[in-house]
A and B are shown apart, each in its own frame.
Chain A
Amino acid sequence: MQIHKYDTVIVGAGGAGMRAAIESTKRSRTAVLTKLYPTRSHTGAAQGGMAAALANVEEDNWEWHTFDTIKGGDYLVDQDAAEILAKEAIDAVLDLEKMGLPFGRTPEGRIDQRRFGGHTRSHGEAPVRRACYSGDRTGHMILQTLYQNCVKEGVEFFNEFYVLDQLITEVDGVKKSAGVVAYELATGEIHVFQAKSVIYASGGTGKFFKVTSNAHTLTGDGQAACYRRGLPLEDMEFFQFHPTGIWRMGILLTEGARGEGGILRNKDGERFMEKYAPVMKDLASRDVVSRSIYTEIREGRGCGPAGDHVYLDLTHLPPEQLDAKLPDITEFARTYLGIEPYTDPIPIQPTAHYAMGGIPTNVEGEVLADNTTVVPGLYAAGEVACVSVHGANRLGTNSLLDINVFGKRSGIAAAEYATKSDFVELPENPGQLVAEQVERLRNSTGTERVADLRTELQECMDANVMVFRTEQTIKTAVAKIAELRERYLNVSIQDKGKRFNTDLLEAIELGNLLDLAEVMAVSALARKESRGGHYREDYPNRDDVNFMRHTMAYREVAADGAESIRLDYKPVVTTRYQPMERKY
């Protein structure tokens, strides 16, 4: 076991991690631990744009953006955080441009902007062009640009290092971050990184769903590491289902397609979104559109022999516009469906896309141990975190924004904390938990297979806690997850080696998914209302009296070792916007 010492350790090298690294490397000795080579991160799969009220093409301002973000999040957004997000958006985009990001341009040479779901002028009057973009490759360009600037700044990466444990030491009654434990894929060696500051930027957890836009590697490793050490997870019941995933595969087709004029149609060719969102139509917020699609399907107006999808129709758009603005998604349709989007509509269905919830933080990225207490030296940013700027439903283009604004903020805050603090003593045998976990899996003679359990989990989640939920379906999920967690103790792997043992890592990742799926289901069961991405058919209305508050889920371990989840709640920060009925 090797022990390393750094001022700042960043876990994950997607957009948030690299944006943080650019700041913290300038200010403190920083290591970035990433389970993938940095440019493999899923930020690269984001397509449509990054919101900022630049007002380059029409009147806009950050106050409208703040309002849209809060309304989009169905008033579960912390309004102070949303204001920071919208205000700092403008510099975040300009920073990226100066770093070299090749944005699309207006005829005058300014950064061009396009429409996106839920982004409006004058508090909902009409769609506004706020999304700064680069074709339908905005995430790719952000990831590449940030990596390029990490190269420029000499950021130190540990590639293919899986962080599996968060080290916490209690000092004078205060829980402090002491570092992390990582597993090196190439060698199977366990490394302890002692650090004054740790930033989690390890992304989402969408792989507990079957139909998802998420990468195979999005298994909630950061959330799970913190949760197992007694830290809470906030608002985990809120998961976004993006309306337009490729039918059955879940591959993302950007909302920018509708921003460019694409239309959703049912089997009768009807533009059904006119019924559900008379003003914003196809550009209503994602939760609204996804529910509308499933309502059409349930009422027998879905397409295809099984009536299980609808169409994204781009056929009325000029081919030149598709080539210029949507080159990648049109190619996906050709590659994976054999469809020509110039002439044929694309079969789509909602796809599990984004975790609004995660590790709770304040606006500096500092992780919270409860509703108010900060864990000194511990930070989180991006999808792994819950600030909360997305509330119950994230607006499209606000995630690429989130990673830049809060990546930068946490990078600065963590490095500054590190420069004025001392190392916290490591716990005794810091690598023990990970070593035991690895050895147990490597030596297990159990009869369960990782792939079987994962498939059962994904099918259970799709069937029971997706777009529509009821007490009964959620209870079914809770029971099934409990069964799978029990069976997980009996999994074995075939690869017993040390070198590039992805068989072992998949088993560990499954353990993370099971823990987080349970938190999600239990949090969803307790929220007896419908809000944003969490829709309860048995409680179809929003209940601001009882539920305008964040869920905080804690792992409890009894004296006999029995685990349970304790739910608590945290008030929403409301500044100037009182909750209103949400219409698009």
Chain B
Amino acid sequence: MATPTLDKTDKAEAGFADSPFIMATFRIRRFNPEVSDEAQWQDFQIEIDPKERVLDALHKIKWELDGTLTFRRSCAHGICGSDAMRINGKNRLACKTLIKDINPDKPITVEAIKGLTVLKDLVVDMDPFFQAYHDVMPFLITKGNEPTRERLQSPEDRERFDDTTKCILCAACTSSCPVFWNDGQYFGPAAIVNAHRFIFDSRDEAGEQRLEILNDRDGVWRCRTTFNCTDACPRGIEVTKAIQEVKRALITRRF
């Protein structure tokens, strides 16, 4: 039963075996207020395996060409949420984007995510983003006495909010949202996603309070359903759907 699966030529191996390096141009939006008040584009040409990540390319540039290039990163496989950036005009994680998937025949543009203040190169001020997250009370709130053992929750109830538990707070969604670009007061998709995670958790008893917070003028009603957030989410969360569910809960008061 096992051997048939092994007869297939392993796709990854086939790829790695004849991995031709290519020349790729990375056009990076640079900004360092210690040097200049103006941001500018800078091109870097590097030889790289197209199956590598954009993060690998940025490292190659930083380590071999220009040590001043500055960006955040940590886990390098799409879990920590450090390296959201705008790559070819779309928000993605640099560590989850392979070069071959973004047409390296043309210059690949890399710039900081939008709507948050750029501090240096690809590094933005994340504090407003985390403040919005804090404002939705992102923690389980329960009443009454604590049970001795775990609270019970059926697999169906657990499944109800599974999608929004995946959020890694990378800000790819919020910084892809045109409403947020124009008005930084808007909570933004990520905060709503994290409110959703608790509103639809059967153990939580503060759904009404959270809904009132999101009923605010800077809350869910600002969403214009452009789906940018859903497209941007590197975790595949249906962000717009979650926002819609919160809107519906506000109308029906059922959640």
Residues of A that sit less than 8 Å from B by CB? 36-37, 39-42, 44-45, 93-94, 97-100, 102-111, 134, 137, 140-141, 144, 148-149, 151-152, 186, 215-217, 247-249, 251, 263, 265, 267-269, 271, 303-305, 311, 313, 315-316, 328, 331-332, 335-339, 343-345, 347, 449-451, 493-495, 497-503
Contacts and interface: CB of A to CB of B under 8 A. Distances in A.
A335 B98 contact: yes
A211 B34 CA distance: 36
A262 B94 CA distance: 30
B62 to A, nearest CB: 7
Given A144-B165, A265-B6, A335-B78, A497 B140 contact: no
B152 A100 contact: no
Contact of A498 (B34, B133, B155): B34
B125 to A, nearest CB: 9
A500 B68 CA distance: 9
Contacts of A337: 11-12
A111 B147 CA distance: 14
B21 interface: no
A292 B139 CA distance: 44
A495 B77 contact: no
Contacts of A149: 139
Report the 7 A-B pairs with minimum CB-CB distance, sorted nearest first.
Answer: A100-B140, A494-B67, A451-B63, A109-B152, A269-B3, A337-B12, A503-B67
A332 B235 CA distance: 11
A42 B32 contact: no
A132 to B, nearest CB: 9
A509 B246 CA distance: 44
Contacts of A315: 5
Contact of A217 (B74, B126, B139, B152): B74
Contacts of B34: 497-499
Contacts of B201: 100, 102
A305 B35 CA distance: 50
A107 B64 contact: no
Interface in B107-158: 119-121, 123, 126, 130, 133-134, 138-140, 146-147, 149-155, 157-158
Interface string B176-200: 0000000000000000000000100
Contacts of B11: 337-339, 344
Contacts of A39: 80-81, 168-169
Nearest to B1: A316
Given A44-B79, A105-B158, A215-B74, A151 B119 contact: no
B251 interface: no
Contacts of A152: 139
B88 interface: no
For the residues of B in contact with A, the DSSP-based class is: loop
B119 A186 contact: yes
B6 A304 contact: no
Contacts of A104: 155, 158
A269 B3 CA distance: 5
Contacts of B67: 450, 493-495, 503
B96 interface: yes
Contact of A40 (B12, B80, B154, B162): B80
A263 B11 CA distance: 19
Given A100-B203, A335-B98, A499-B32, A44 B150 contact: no
A339 B12 contact: yes
B150 A148 contact: no
A336 B100 CA distance: 11
28 contacts: A36-B80, A37-B82, A39-B81, A40-B81, A45-B77, A94-B150, A98-B151, A216-B73, A263-B2, A265-B2, A303-B6, A305-B13, A316-B1, A328-B79, A335-B78, A338-B11, A338-B12, A343-B8, A344-B5, A344-B8, A451-B63, A495-B70, A497-B32, A497-B34, A497-B68, A500-B123, A502-B62, A503-B62
